[in-house]
Amino acid sequence: MGEKYLAIQQANINQLKKSGIEVLNLGRGNPDLPTFAPVVEKAKTALDNKVNHGYPPYGGKPALKETIKQFYQREYQVALEEDEITVFSGSAAALTALPMALADPSGVVLTPTPAFFGYHIGITMSGAEEWQMPLLERNDYLPELEKIPQAVRERAQMMFLNYPHNPTGAGATHAFFDKAVQFGLDNHIAIVHDFAYADISFEHQAPSFLQSKRAKETGIEIYTLSKTFNMAGWRSAFAVGNASIIKLLKAYIQNSVGGTFGVVQDASQYALETQIEERKQLRDTYLDRRNTVIQLLKTNQLSVSQSSGTFFVWLKLPEKITDDRRFAKSLLNNAHVAVVPGSAFGDAGQGYLRISLVADTATLASGINQLITYLKQYRE
């Protein structure tokens, strides 16, 4: 549903641009900055290596898997074995594959709402039922696991989690992940933690799901280089954790999309090993942008979440606005600012807007000022 909304919005933006109107697009989830230069240079060299011209080893090159092991040890103090790691081309493929590998038509998959669009299609194809866990502001956007009915727990086969969270920018705590692991173990539910914004966390390092004791007995974590290394176009991601789930995922990917281009693997290995300062600078850039946006919104008495991570800001619309989609459409057509209405991420997002920080500070400030002006004059 959300994807459909974005496609319609993009067609609308294209139409406006065609008629010469400049649109400030604060709706995208695509990083605006280029991949770090040393990573691009590494890829150029890797292109000359003939080994990379043949089929790559399924599940990842041994050297890349060794680097992932060291990366998780260095960043999160989590020890991994080789059979607890698999590499693939972007996390979207894995998020779609997992419900088909882990759930069946008699089962239930638990998803957060609001949430990233990428979880639904795999669930539909698996035939399982989707049961949505509301993420509410008063609970810091963490699901209330204890409120999941017994009948649902009995049928649940897997659960998606995602922190730092798209679209709210909320973070998880170690205590929450401990609780989720216990819930997974008690109810035999496979937990898949989508760690897409792992590194974009402002107050402290975002916890890894695997840092919780016994996490590997019940789940996996998916890490992508799309956002934290500005490598969205390269399609590079990996999963770590429970060896049985990793084995299933590897088999599924091998028989569908196949292996990941060797050049992408070599560049990813290099990025994970060396780009520590670059990642910090990227985080600081997003922090600067977040502060600019939040300050402007707060100065104008708008209710906005602090956004402890991701490159999104979650704005609560004033009470007088009851239809976030209608408002977003009107904002685009009349004030030429594109944002995504909260309800595009599920029912619990109704009444909010997601503002993306993938534009420079000056563009963000202009977009937010236009949004504030339009909010003052808007009548439903």
Ligand X SMILES: Cc1ncc(COP(=O)(O)O)c(C=O)c1O
For residues 310-369, which are near ligand X according to CB under 6 A?
A: none
Whether the bond between 167 and the residue before it is cis, its omega within 30 degrees of 0, is yes
Give the shortest CB-319-to-ligand X separation in angstroms: 29
Binding-site size, ligand X (CB under 6 A): 14
Note whether 91 binds ligand X by CB under 6 A.
yes
Q: Which range binds ligand X by CB under 6 A, 70-78, 87-95, 139-147, 301-309?
A: 87-95
Residue selected from 29, 107, 122, 346 as contacting ligand X according to rule CB under 6 A: 29
Of positions 25, 166, 187, 305, contacts ligand X by CB under 6 A: 166
- Examine residue 162 and tell whether it contacts ligand X (CB under 6 A): yes
Site string for ligand X, 251-290 (x = CB under 6 A): ----------------------------------------
Q: Which of 27, 59, 60, 90 binds ligand X (CB under 6 A)?
A: 90
Amino acid at site 77: Q
Q: Which is nearer to ligand X, 15 or 258 (CB)?
A: 258
Question: Is residue 196 close enough to count as binding ligand X by CB under 6 A?
Answer: yes
Of the candidate spans 13-21, 84-92, 120-128, 238-246, the one that interacts with ligand X by CB under 6 A turns out to be 84-92
Please report, as residue ranges, which positions from 96 to 135 form the binding site for ligand X (by CB under 6 A).
Answer: 116, 118
Stretch that binds ligand X, among 38-46, 85-93, 101-109, 178-186 (CB under 6 A): 85-93
Q: Which is nearer to ligand X, 89 or 157 (CB)?
A: 89
Binding region for ligand X (CB under 6 A) out of 34-42, 89-97, 137-145, 319-327: 89-97
Q: Which backbone phi and psi does 222 adopt, to 5 degrees? A: -110, 125
Backbone phi and psi for residue 189, each to the nearest 5 degrees, phi listed first: -115, 130
What does the alpha-carbon distance between residue 265 and residue 269 come to, in Å, rounded to a whole number? 6
Map the footprint of ligand X across residues 132-151, applying CB under 6 A: none
Whole-angstrom Cα distance, residue 371 to residue 174? 36
Residue 221's SS3 state is: strand
Compute the least distance from the CB of residue 98 to ligand X, in Å: 12
Of residues 42-81, those binding ligand X (CB under 6 A): none
Query: Using the 8-state DSSP alphabet, how is residue 207 labeled?
Result: P
The length of the chain in residues reads 380
CA 204 to CA 38: how far, in whole Å?
27
d(CA 278, CA 40): 13
232 binds ligand X (CB under 6 A): yes
Tell me whether residue 72 or residue 119 sits nearer to ligand X (CB atom): 119
Q: Does a cis peptide bond (omega within 30 degrees of 0) precede residue 164?
A: yes
By beta-carbon proximity to ligand X, the closer residue of 65 and 227 is 227
Q: Which is nearer to ligand X, 225 or 375 (CB)?
A: 225
Tokens encoding 146:
């204890």
Q: CA torsion, points 195, 196, 201, 206, in degrees to nearest 10?
A: 10
Residue 307 binds ligand X (CB under 6 A): no
Residues in a beta bridge with 130: 109
Angle subtended by helix axes 324-335 and 361-377, to nearest 10:
110
Q: How far is CA 18 from CA 8, 12, 340, 375, in A?
A: 15, 10, 21, 26
Q: Is 92 in the site for ligand X (CB under 6 A)?
A: yes
In angstroms, rounded to a whole number, what is the distance separating the alpha carbons of residues 198 and 200?
A: 6
3-class SS at 353? strand
The span of 86-94, 139-147, 148-156, 336-344 binding ligand X (CB under 6 A) equals: 86-94
For tokens 């979880």, the residue is 119
Stretch that binds ligand X, among 49-57, 88-96, 293-301, 322-330 (CB under 6 A): 88-96
Q: CA-CA distance, 82 to 70, in Å (whole number)?
A: 11
Sites of contact with ligand X (CB under 6 A): 29, 90-92, 116, 118, 162, 166, 194, 196, 224, 226, 232, 237
